Chains A and B, each alone.
Chain A
Amino acid sequence: MRELVVLMILMLGGSGVLGLYEDQAYKFDWRKQLIGKVEDLEFLAAGVDTAILVRTQKNVLAALDSDDGKLLWRHKFEDSAETGKILAIGRLNRNVVSVSGSSNIFLRLWEPLHGALVQEHFIKLASAPTHAHLVDNNLHFVFVKPNGMDIVTYTFDTKKFTEGSHKKVSTETTEVEKCVGLDNLLVCSTPSGLIYTQINSKEPSKAEMIPVADIQGSTLARRGTRIQVENSAGSVSTFKVENGKLVKQADITNIVSECPGVEVKQECSEWGTDSEGNKYCAQYADNILTRFKGEETTVKLASYRGKLEAVWSECGADPQAYQLILAFQDGGLVSVTPRGNIMFTREEGLTSVHKAEFVNIGFEDKSSTFGPLYLHHENMFDPATLAQNFINRMKRHILQLREFISSLIQLKFLEKNSAATLDRFGLNKMIVIATEHNKLYGMESISGKLMWQLYFPGRFTSAEGFESKSQAYLLIQRDGRAGGEAQAVLIYAHAHSVHHMMTFDPLTGKMISNEPLNMHLDQALLLPEFSDHEIKPILLVGKDGNVAVHPRAAAECLRSGPPLFVLSGPTNSKLVGSKVVPSQEGSGVSLVPVWSLVTPSTEIVSVKTRNPIERVHSAGRVLADRSVLFKYMNPNLALVAAQGTDSSAKLFLNIYLLDMVTGKVHYSATHKKVLGPYHTVHSENWAVYSFYNEKARRAELVSLEMYEGKTQTNATVFSSIENKVIPLVERQAYILPVSDVRALKETVTEQGITSKHLLIGSAVGNVLDLPLHLVDPRRPPLDTPAGMREPGIPPYIPELPMPHESIMNYNQTILGMKDILTSPSGLESTTLVFVHGLDLYGTRITPSKGFDLLKEDFDYIMISAVILGLVLASYITRKLAQKKMLTKAWK
């Protein structure tokens, strides 16, 4: 037992205490709490202020302050649409009502001020309803059947829940797209028009039909006392209830709001035609027009947000005072006053991050650079280059000194430079985010502040898994560190056209160009930087095997450079490695398939390669007997995970360690009876992957490490083709302390000296910061004597610990976590971390503690006082000593 206690102490001591002090909370990190793209909105009078109740695409029920848009409370329901989807929201007396689920329905009543649950009712339905509709204390479910519609009505209050009436409605058509309720009418859209019926009469009836030409059924919405639906030409048809009948009003081009007389209009400034000849709006007007009693007001939006999708409004007692809330295509929620001023803006598109990248801002002031900061490394030791570098550097320093002195003279050194704060330690980077709601954002990693945003007309289908990742590519061609303009490329599927390539500056968000690619894109790859080219070229691979290099001049580099191999996945169960062959003249490039991996009846779920910016500091590790075990560090290695179903309909997971150049399989293993999600990480000479073990009902993490052996073959250059080493693969499995892993990532630092940590994000919303040596596959058995143990590796315990102080985000829960991003900072000890999901969270962590940082509470005054005191003391004692010598000499 004592041994165990010692072991625990060892483990804690070895990993170091990672927690924060209380006063350090919120100091290095920030969190943004978001709700998702708003689907439905309702104004509530909660206490003195009005609040806004919303339901969103992310299954969130939330209340916002109507004045500043701040989150009052929110509840995130289950992720899956089957249990968590919110069907309807409403009000009942003093409470808020939500209806969620599909065939198992939860009707919940909430307290509107704080979001406390008042009552929950459970309804089990035979099948999922097509539509749910709340009118006061009545809940109507609509089931669309082949011969008509069934309407089931329930009555509820804060205590009871009673089943009410059934009603059958016969319809002419069965293709019902969307239904909305307006008082006692149920209105549904069909391909040929609208149908409507009375909802609370009990006797069977026939739905009445109002034909609407070119109807876009999904735009059917209720606005106050009217029903509106758009058609494909862009105009809006509105309907009103008169004596229990739906009456068509005049067609208008505006969107009407719930307040009488308030109309909102977004004009189309540029029309486009897609390949099938259909007209669509390519560019909407920058400004929104609101019309109230014949008076038009312009609402100026700070940035372009795409199509105005929905408008809600709240009218006060005073008819002049109303509040408009506009929901845009990019997920933005903008609140507007009658004078056209913006009250608040919420960027809810950030809840659906598709791709995100860290971009270095750079250390140098852009105004005082002398060409590129780093010259090419090719002929670094050439005397002429060295001299040039030295002169450049001296010039720079002199200029900096001059600037400093001039700023000192003008007493301006206290002024902060606001434009993308330059920090000398690279602790601030730009996070470039591409969302699924067609928006690019630039966000400061140190504060989470949005610096710029850019709209792109992309298209995202809701495909899951490996395929969906290839819908948009965000590639950073050059960051701000290299001097000159930074450049990045977003390749996306255009909503009405082929793939487009948008070139922009990732630091300022300035669009440089946006051009169609003229090919059916299969994948886009960022090629390594070629020495005589300042930006990283992009290789575009078409579905038909066509290949292009962008920029075209880079094809020359391909010809002279080392041979290049790329990976493509023509199907879900096949990987093909191809050699990139540039044609002898011109800029043509073709692919020659050279190896293949076929995993019959399985689906490849992930291919994880090493982070290309990663550096490895040590080439081996010291064993207990003081000999060195050399790491097998193959930069071309990838961890491939494939999932399949066995004969008993259980899932299994196949894992391959694959050389992406030669297609050599260095390790392959299978895990049976598993469940997703699968997460893989590959770095240096190790790889870890996690999955859920269905048999043992726990999440497991398998750790692999590759070693060359006791001798090293080639210490300077690695070539996959020439290297004949068959690596030893060490492996070990561990039980994870979290059962639902959402994200797995390793820390990465500038030089790779700092020890590595694993970041494990759980569904609960915390991120565990686990030192990598705890998942070392070489952890010895418990009974190994102390002398035989390798330094720094604790004995094997199958369960991994989860000390509370090593939870990176302490008490700041990150809801709906999707992925973790890490990036090195300019300081070797520090890694920047960005976590996204429903919430966004940014922090920095120091895996080996801040060995190159001064402590937070470092006493600058004390140390200066001591130095000053010492200087003074030495001066005084010198005087005294001189005096003493003099008197001695006189004696």
Chain B
Amino acid sequence: AVHQELQGPESYSGLQKLCDKKELYLVKLVSEGGGGELQSFAAPCALLEAGLAESLIVHLDWKGNMIAINLNVRSEEAPLKGRNRDKFDTKVVMQSMENGPTPDTAAFIQKMEEEKARKLSGETKDNRSFFAKYWMYIVPVCIFMAINSAAGPEGGR
């Protein structure tokens, strides 16, 4: 469970000051078990513009340890929420680590086996029409004949 400590109107003016000085708004997450601190930051001007709507992504490793936090400004929601709000609106998202990809050998082997089986059960039936199958032989013969027939009468003359 994540316990959030939000400061009220006072921090708002503080944010304004940070924005004017072009500094950064830092967040620190201190775990109660003494596991150390995690830090992240956001641009204060963007945060003010978004009406203090932010999201905090907590990254976990596969053992469930917190490894990093990322503070993001939810600027896409700004027009809906209205500006100059005095309260932080924080969404907390937990993101866990995924298993890395492994070579997909199973599908490949299956494919190869299908191919083998098909070969054993006899060649695949070719149900294309005669012309579709042998057009590459027929067409040159036709052309050759056409040329011959065109050239033939001339030579005879």
Contacts of A597 in B (CB 8 A): 67-68
Q: Is the CB of B101 within 8 A of A732?
A: yes
B19 at the A interface (CB under 8 A) = no
Q: Per-position contact with A for B69-87: 1 when CB-CB < 8 Å, else 0?
A: 0101101100000000000
Q: Which of B1-9, B38-46, B135-143, B146-154 contacts A (4 or more CB under 8 A)?
A: B38-46
Q: Does B111 contact A (CB under 8 A)?
A: yes
Tell me which residues from 27 to 73 in chain B have a Cβ below 8 Å from any Cβ of chain A.
Answer: 35-41, 43, 46, 57, 59, 61-62, 65-68, 70, 72-73
Q: Please name the residue on chain B nearest to A719 by beta carbon.
A: B43
Question: Residues of B contacting A164 with CB < 8 Å?
Answer: none
Q: Which residue of A lies closest to B114 (CB)?
A: A783
A668: contacting residue among B24, B97, B105, CB under 8 A: B97
Contact present for B103 and A734 (CB under 8 Å): yes
Chain A residue at minimum C-beta to C-beta distance from B98: A669
Contact flags (1/0) for A549-579 with B, using CB distance below 8 Å?
Answer: 0000000000000000000000000101001
Interface residues of A in 613-659 (CB under 8 A from B): 652-656
Report A579-634 residues with CB < 8 Å from chain B CB.
579, 593-602
Name B59's contact: one of A3, A668, A781 (CB within 8 Å): A668
Report Cα–Cα, A665/B59, bound state, in Å: 8
A782 to B65, CA, bound (A): 39
Whether the pair B68, A665 counts as a contact (CB closer than 8 A) is yes
Central interface residue in B67, B98, B105, B107, by most chain A CB within 10 Å: B67
Tell me, yes or no, whether A372 is within 8 Å of chain B by CB: no
Which A residues are CB-close (under 8 A) to B36?
A: 574, 598, 600
Closest-by-CB residue of B relative to A647 is B63
**Which listed residue, A664, A672, A731, A798, touches B105 by the CB 8 Å rule?**
A798
**Does any Cβ of A come within 8 Å of B119's Cβ?**
yes
A1's partner among B37, B75, B98, B119 (CB-CB below 8 A) is B119
What's the Cα separation between A10 and B75 when bound, in Å?
47
Known: A665-B59, A670-B61, A670-B62. A594 touches B24 (CB 8 A): yes
- Asked if residues B35 and A654 are in contact (CB atoms below 8 Å), the reply is no
Residue on A nearest B68 in the bound complex, by CB: A597
B121 lies within 8 A of chain A by Cβ: no
A852 close to B (CB within 8 Å): no
**Cβ-defined contact, B100 with A671, below 8 A:** yes
Least CB distance, B155 to chain A, in whole angstroms: 35
A641 to B103, CA, bound (A): 19
B95: A residues at CB distance < 8 A: 665, 668
Given A598-B67, A797-B108, do A733 and B103 touch, yes or no (CB 8 Å)? Answer: yes
Neighbour of B26 across the interface among A594, A600, A669, A798, CB < 8 A: A594
Given A665-B59, A671-B100, A700-B103, A594 and B39 contact (CB-CB distance below 8 Å): yes
Partner of B61, one of A668, A724, A731, A782: A668
In residues 1-23 of chain B, which contact A (Cβ within 8 Å)? Answer: none
B126 at the interface (CB under 8 A from A): no
Q: Which of B24, B68, B101, B108 contacts A579 (CB 8 A)?
A: B24
Question: In the bound complex, what is the Cα–Cα distance between A598 and B36 (angstroms)?
Answer: 8
Determine the interface band of chain A, counting residues with CB < 8 A from chain B: 35 or more
Whether the Cβ atoms of B38 and A670 lie closer than 8 Å is no
A6, CB-defined interface residue at 8 Å: no
Is the C-beta of B102 less than 8 angstroms from some C-beta in chain A?
Answer: yes
Contacts of B68 in A (CB 8 A): 595-598, 663, 665
- Closest partner residue, chain B, to A668 (CB atom): B97
CA distance A733 to B105 in the complex (A): 10
Q: Considering only CB atoms, which chain B residue lies closest to A734 in the complex?
A: B103
Residue A702 at the B interface, CB < 8 A?
Answer: yes
Q: Does A760 contact B (CB under 8 A)?
A: no
Q: Which residue of A lies closest to B36 (CB)?
A: A598
Taking the nearest CB of chain B, how far is it from the CB of A114, in angstroms?
Answer: 43
Q: For B26, what are the chain A residues with a Cβ–Cβ distance below 8 Å?
A: 594
Cβ of A665 and Cβ of B70 under 8 Å apart? yes
Which of B41, B107, B119 is close to A781, meaning CB atoms less than 8 Å apart?
B107
Q: Which residues of A contact B66 (CB under 8 A)?
A: 598
In whole Å, how far is B49's beta carbon from the nearest beta carbon of chain A? 12
Query: Which residues of chain B from 116 to 131 have any CB-CB distance to chain A below 8 Å in the complex?
Result: 119
Cβ contact within 8 Å between B40 and A654: no
Q: Can you give 20 A-B contacts (C-beta < 8 A)? A: A3-B115, A576-B39, A598-B35, A598-B66, A598-B67, A598-B68, A653-B100, A656-B67, A662-B70, A663-B39, A663-B40, A665-B57, A669-B99, A670-B61, A722-B43, A722-B46, A733-B102, A733-B103, A734-B103, A799-B103
Shortest 7 CB-CB contacts between residues of A and residues of B:
A798-B103, A669-B100, A671-B100, A733-B101, A594-B41, A596-B39, A733-B103
Extra inter-chain contacts (20) besides given A579-B24, A693-B102, CB under 8 Å? A595-B40, A598-B38, A598-B66, A598-B67, A599-B61, A600-B61, A600-B67, A601-B65, A662-B40, A663-B39, A663-B68, A665-B67, A669-B98, A669-B99, A724-B75, A735-B105, A783-B111, A798-B103, A798-B104, A798-B108
- Give the B-binding residues of A (Cβ under 8 A): 1, 3-4, 574, 576, 579, 593-602, 652-656, 662-665, 668-672, 693, 700, 702, 721-722, 724, 731-735, 781-783, 796-799
Chain B interface (Cβ < 8 Å from any Cβ of A):
24, 26, 35-41, 43, 46, 57, 59, 61-62, 65-68, 70, 72-73, 75-76, 95, 97-105, 107-108, 111, 115, 119
